[in-house]
Structure 1
Amino acid sequence: MSRAEPVVLVATRIRVEERVLLEALARRCLSAVHVDDRTLVYRIGDPPPPWRAVLNRALSATRRVEISRYCEVMGIPVLNSAETLATCDNKIAGTWALRCAGLPVPDTVIALDAEAGVRAVGEVGFPAVVKPVVGSWGRGLAKVNDTDAAEAVFDLRGGSPSPVQKLAYAQEFVEGRDIRVLVVGGHAVAAAQRTSDHWVRNTARGARACPVPLDPELVDLAERASKAVGGGILGVDVLESCAGDRVVLEVNAGVEFHGLASAHPDLPIADLVVDHLLEVLG
């Protein structure tokens, strides 16, 4: 690839993260262009586009993995990889990857049909959290405190036309601190605690972020979790119980970092991402 060819930021829209990434690319004197993933059309077998590398920031999990798959087939360096995205964007696959790597995860029970969902929740115990297998920003989560609530949730899920929505993913509710660790290129670079008046503590839903020191245990958990799912630019969510025990909840491969950046205003997160991209380019 020629240095004159652009680095492409594929994004559904330009949010805070995409704007600062474009600015960081400009600081490296790299030619950069934005491509809306919804406009991409390509013929199987055509030559690759003149792209030097791709930062894949598509919002849709389905489009996101197809963009990385296309880039990899075309020989274009892309972050994150299709394998990492496919693992992280499916909560069952992500939990398996973490558990198989020996990482502590919340007690999780899967049922392959909504009719068996109540039994899955019963095996976890109350309160439990029922999650969609595919989803982000805390959408579709339900905290169930008794069998009646579980029956109501899975009765609704059972009426969905989507086979994926009929899958039951039930997890123990861990009371305590919610910590997001940003991992770039296998290295934990910063952490923030997310707090909210609601038990769902996503910054996309208004949660506040405050800095958390990167102690050795937190670094170890985050970096092992990154390796377990294939590495890249990742947000590792760690829950710390009131007793101080930590579990890895999930790894986000379409990571937003505006909340973490607000907690660490002096940390050049976008520059760290671009530095990693340059390392990938060699």
Structure 2
Amino acid sequence: MSDILVICRSYTHHVKALEKSLSRNNMQVTIATPKEINVEINTEGVSYYINGIIFFPSIVIGWLSLEKTREAKSIREWGLWLLKTMELEGIKVINTFETFNVGQNKLLNSIMLTKHCIPHIPTELVSDMQFLQKTIEVLNLPVVVKPVIGSKSHDVQRVDDLKELEQICNSYFSKNLPVYIQKYIEKPGRDIRVTVINHKAISAQYRSVDHSGFLTKKNNGALITKCHINEELGKLSEKCSKVFNAPFAGIDLLEDEEGTYRVIEVNIAPALLDPDEDILNAIVVYLKEELISLRKE
């Protein structure tokens, strides 16, 4: 039996670094994509197989990041099914099926933040052109348009022009999709990502704007620098992690014109390597504690 199974969408360098770090600390770890896992269900119960070998891990880590392609979306959904089946079998799962479902849906993400009085950004989910007019009156231009399900800033746009916004919305509506629209908040040329492990803020980084002056993702050319985690930033990030029941979380924030932190969203499958080894070390400590606790039961 393997101590830990990591179910990932693909073998990224983040996953490989996690595998190396866990193995170096004497934990038996298996990495698998959903396509490599088979499930047998009969009167004797449920069994899981990888490469024809039955296994029953102590802990399952879901690392199912979002991607734009149809194949990647299918693999992610497949992985979520597996996480749920393992939860039902009593296996410890981090992060859970429910955590992924809420955290990777921007609408549900916004509602969770607002419900728990976490400073967020005024948001509207628009389903028709009539409501779009009301949305413009409430949020004013410019606005930020995002897909409800998406990552790495794919299809995220700042929109300043009404005609352009109407065209974008019509494109969504023609595909039977709603439009997730947020108020544009002036910020000091940067966002903040805080990585939280076991509900503790471990590492933070500033992500300065790319050449467009808007997007702040590393894959869009943003500059990444270290950010000090002060008490306010740490407590806010840790609260987000607890609200989403996400022991592994990346909290994306911005500072508005008054210097107030606003949470943009909670990322359920955050990057592991940037800016240093602190994140991986915190994961090792957390999983060691979990394994010891499980063996005492």
TM-score of the two chains, using structure 2 as the length reference = 0.84
C-alpha deviation, 1:175, in angstroms: 2.2
The structure 2 residue matched to 1:36, chosen from 30, 33, 49, is: 33
Partner of 2:283: 273
Indicate the residue corresponding to 1:201 in structure 2.
216
After superposition, the C-alpha distances for 1:256-277 in whole angstroms (9 at most, x for unaligned) are 233xx23xx3x33212113222
Q: Once the two structures are aligned, what percentage of the paired residues are identical?
A: 23
Q: Residues 39 and 46 of structure 2 are in contact (CA less than 8 Å); yes or no, is this contact kept in structure 1?
A: no
Q: How far apart are the structure 2 equivalents of 1:131 and 1:201?
A: 14
Which of 90, 101, 125 pairs up with 1:110? 125
* 1:136 equivalent in alignment to 2:151: yes
Matches within 5 A, 1:81-230: 81-113=96-128, 116-160=131-175, 163=176, 166-176=177-187, 177-195=190-208, 196-198=210-212, 199-230=214-245
Give per-residue Cα distances to partners, 1:132-176, cap 9 Å, x unaligned. Answer: 11111111112111211110111111221xx4xx21211011222
Q: Within the alignment, does 1:246 sit opposite 2:261 as a pair?
A: yes
The aligned amino acid for 1:278 is K
CA distance in 2, matches of 1:233, 1:249: 17
Structure-2 change in CA distance of 1:112 and 1:209 (3 Å): same
Q: CA deviation at 1:41?
A: 3.4
Cα deviation, residue 207, structure 1:
2.1
Residue correspondence of structure 1 range 9-20 to structure 2 within 5 A: 9-20=6-17
* Alpha-carbon distance change, 151 to 44 in structure 1, aligned in 2, over 3 angstroms: farther
Answer yes or no: is the 8 Å Cα contact 1:105–1:247 preserved in 2. Answer: yes
Any unmatched runs of 5+ in structure 2?
Answer: 49-55, 66-72
Partner of residue 70 from structure 1, selected from 61, 67, 85: 85
Shift of 1:214: 0.4
How many Å separate the matches in 1 of 2:192 and 2:110?
Answer: 17
Which residue identity is paired with 2:290? V
Alpha-carbon distance in structure 2 between the residues aligned to 1:157 and 1:118? 16
Query: What do the CA deviations read for 1:188-220 (whole angstroms, capped 9, x no partner)?
Result: 011100112231111233322100100111012
Cα offset, 1:43, TM superposition:
4.3
| Structure 1 residue 5, shift from structure 2 partner | 2.8
Structure 1 pair 172–217 and aligned structure 2 pair: CA distance change class (3 A): same
Residues 43-66 of structure 1: CA deviation (Å, up to 9, x unaligned)? 455424322221212234423432
Contact 1:121 1:150 in 2 (8 A): no
SS in 2 for 1:135: coil
| CA gap 1:121/1:44 in 2 versus in 1, 3 angstroms | farther
- Residues 50-89 of structure 1 show CA distances to partners (whole Å, capped at 9, x for unaligned) of 2222121223442343232122012111211112111111
Q: Contact 2:253–2:265 (CA<8 Å) still a contact in 1?
A: yes
The amino acid across from 1:42 in the alignment is V
Please say if residues 79 and 277 of structure 1, whose CA atoms lie closer than 8 Å, have aligned partners that are also in contact. Answer: no
CA drift at 1:102: 0.9
Distance change >3 Å, CA 135–CA 34, structure 1 → 2: same
**Considering only aligned residues, what root-mean-square deviation do their CA atoms show, in Å?**
2.0
Give the aligned partner of residue 2 of structure 2.
Answer: 5
Distance 2:103 2:10 in 1: 21
Deviations 1:198-248 (A, max 9, x none): 311112333221001001110121011111111210000011124312101
**Uncovered stretches (5+) of structure 1, i.e. residues with no partner:** none
* Aligned residue type for 2:183: E
After the TM superposition, which of the residue ranges 67-76 and 106-115 deviates more from structure 2? 106-115
Asked if 1 retains the 8 angstrom alpha-carbon contact of 2:204 and 2:229, the reply is yes
Shift of 1:24: 1.3
Cα distance change on mapping 1:147 and 1:116 into 2, 3 Å: same
Hey, what's the Cα distance between the residues in 2 that align with 1:64 and 1:125?
Answer: 39
Q: Secondary structure at the match of 2:224?
A: strand
